[in-house]
Structure 1
Amino acid sequence: MFKEINKLKIQGANFIKETPLEIFSSENNKITLIYGKNGTGKSTIARGINKISGKNEPEIKIAEFLTIKNETINNQTNEIFVFNEDYIFNNIKIKEDGLENIIIFGENIELQKEIDLIIKKTENLQIDAQKTICDKYKDENNSLSPKYYMNKIISSLKGDKNWAERDRRIKNNRQASFVREDTYKNFINQTPQKDRDELIIEFEKKFLEYESAKSKSIIIDISPLKIEEFSFNEKAFLELLKEKIEPPILNDREKFIIEIMNQNGKKYITEIHEYFSDDKHTTCPFCMQTVNEKCKEIIFESIEKILNENVENHQKELQKYTRKEINIDFTQYSSFSDLVNKCKEKLDIFNETIILN
């Protein structure tokens, strides 16, 4: 058959008219290379040959092999195989699997399609199952739902014999206390050692004591405690501690000046400094000796060393962070002896801690 093929007659797609194409120049030359730009008809020729092999190619109206004498060749079409883009698409599939690719050929493609379909159905079933579970958790009437138990908690707090009524009695309100969704947080961390009945009996006992105390109580006109506010800037305090200020080393003269200052005050030393600063004063008021410029300079240096305020200021700043003891007169609270004693114990511990530190 192939020895006789000389031309391909084709019509359809890129070939509007019936067109004969010479594909083999002679009987001995049965290899032909067809090349060209996109859209020039290469794929159409492949589809035409595919149509001759018996495949369905709707776009191709006519496709025949012709001999050198333009006679149609119809035999042995089962020996024609076309490996074009359509063949690759229908028979070869590249499946990505991590860093590697899997190439699937022939019938395995259909099998892979079935597998993909099953996987898709499985994913949908999983989504449906998850939705079903989520719906159960969202259903307030389902015991799997947190909301189900939340409603039970809220219901147990409401009512004449529950928390809402007991809270109303304590606060002396007209209506039962309102139960919010977060009311349970007031009790969630409590771990009672008694059962509910015992706790109710204890509550009634305490409530009677509370009512009795209210009926016997008197109004005490007392002023609230006033405790000096204390603010502590840790960062500033640490910076003060980092400062390194060396105390001055004093000679005999400077020690004498300090003694005078201790007896007469700092202002007196300042006046001496001002006295010698005046050029008219050339005599010492203490020893009545003549004081030259060199001597004045030495005196000035000594006084300035003594009057150096760096150390004093640094100490004052540190003193600001000293916590003073707290002293409270509890006389006016004598009717609350138990509470007063507890407060005194706590206050003693606080003050002792300040003294030790």
Structure 2
Amino acid sequence: MIESISIQGVASFQNPTPVSLNINKKVVLFYGHNGTGKSTVARYLQDTTHNNYSNCSYVLPNAQDYQILVYNTDFVEKNFSQDSFEGVFTLGETNVTAEQAISAAEEEISKLEEQRTQKQTLKKQHEDKEVVQVKAIKDKCFETKKEHDKKDLDHCLTKFKASASAFYDELLRTDLIEVPEYTFESLATESKELNSKSAVPKSMIPNVLLNLASSESNTILAEVIVGSSESYLAELVKKLQNFTWVDKGRIYLDDAEGKCPFCQQAIDEDLIENINNLFDESYKRKKDELKALKSAYEQSIETLNEVLSATHYTDLNDTKFDLAKEKLSSVLQANHTKLGQKLADPSIKVILEPTSNLVQALNDIINDKNASRIAFNAKLSKKKDSLAAIKKKFWSLVRIKYDAAIKAHDTLIESIKTDIEKVKGEEEALTIAIQAQNDVIVENRKLITNIETSVININNQIKSIGLEGFEIKQKPEESNHYYLCRGVSSSGHKVYKSLSEGEKTLITYLYFLELCQGSVNSNFSTPKNKKIIVVDDPISSLSHNYIYEIGALTHKRLIRGYQYAQVILLTHSLYYLHEMMKYLPSNPQDFGRKCNLFRVLKNTNSNILPMEKGEIKNDYQSYWQIIKDAQNGITNNIVLPNIMRNILEYYFSFVHKTDALKAALDELEETDSEFSPFFRFINRESHSDSVNITDLGEIDSDRFINKFKDVFIKTQFEEHYDKMMST
């Protein structure tokens, strides 16, 4: 059966979004007034491939197995515009062997179709699994978009933000490369710098100029500096290793007043002279050299500290540079301390740690920074190309990030596709087997089908519904065609054109019902359980008596036993709708299981809404429903005057208050000149002067409904108005 229909871009279905319906029940009923769009649905199902319906669609599994038969004005015109119409081949004379073969084939088809349905269900499960897996991998990869959206790498996502599918497709187009030296973080930093509003070419950082190699390797540092050996004290001082102590103490001799500054014993001039003789000019010169060396070293350190305090160094914010600077400073300070120690005690040996390698380490970092700045300046000069290069690197990183997930996904999808292809093959084999059984049915039907049986059936139905004087006959010169006769001697020439609309409807509908049972093709007949029957308003020109007959025939020949795949009925008549509802399950659960009910509405465009069984009203209630629809904006306001007039005529005639109605209308017309045309129109009764409606201009539903309510208030029937508008 048809599971769903989507209507768009044809007739009054012109909304930007399609009208989509789930109609997957055995019996589907559409109710709506004339002009709302019911016939468009029927015509679409009659010819789904027509260009008019290019934006429409329907879901019918194994559609090739089904036949859709539509009864509407187009069917009548096509089949009865000439004096003869095609015969319907139905089962006729008994042939036990052929009937048994057909029965066996139909039973086998039923089994095969059940198996095929199982395969189709399994295939659908595999396909759904594939869809889920594809969505999962796309969503997983799309998480990267969320990580970088509206951040420094946002420009890499341009054109790929709105769709996970587009994002994934771009990812698959990206070549997989070896692990690169760049990262998301480095690319983000580069992008941020390039995209900064204040981005300007960067200046170079000067190298640190510090060369202390000669000072640090000076031989005097390893020299043991002692006093002269000419003093008789030299051997003793040397033996005691206290040259430095004596040198420091001799400055006190001048103030010692002839006493030793250490032991306070009397000391003569000869001893003082020999003490001073220990420290000759050579000693003094070397000590001055040490002082100069230490002073120069201190000056170099101070100069370096001033240099490194410049902004182009302090703004680097580089941990490696800071550590290298700290290490150099530490070594310089240690060397300075050693120089102080040597100056304090020239007799000791000191070794200074070389700093040239530490200075070079600083300059190496600076050179790297300068190289980066040169590269940045070059990129900034070609910003567009630079950002494009970053984007390419970004996608390569994303591709690497999800490579394992993509490979696992591809393996899984390959397995699922293998399962799908296997089930497809099994499904196709079952379809071939079903077609073989259909061929058996076709061959055996040829043995027992004829058009005589359908002639008898149609003529019997014509008589049963009281159409006297008509019958269907086979055309002598065209044995597979009928013609319609009026009277025994009639040749059938132009008889159809002379029929009333009601007679045409009855006869053509009887023919259609017979066609549903058989086929106009003697070589092929679709089984009933593969036929979808669509009936569009078969009672438009019939009296209530015939509506009853059509309803009964529809139930008996189309619905009872649910022998057809699906029956879709469309009508504007509440009487006919109520008649059909009598034959359908009364229990709401049973009704909901087998039947679908829809209401067709039209304001500017048509719309179709689900409808509950309890919502079906009588004609009077239906008029009130239209008032409420207009109030809610789901039907066109232009129908309001006519509907309101019908309600007022019906109700006030029923309660025998037509005089009160006329008096109320006259009074309201006198007190509200703006609505005079409206009151004049609804006060004219029935349809005596429908031209008057053109005086009404644009109809404001709220204002007209308020005036309509005033009529009931004036006549003291406001309670009835409130009840009908609330139900």
The answer to whether TM tops 0.5 is: no
Q: Which has the higher contact order (CA 8 A, sep 6+)?
A: 2
Question: Higher helix proportion, which one?
Answer: 2
How does the TM-score come out when normalised to structure 1?
Answer: 0.22
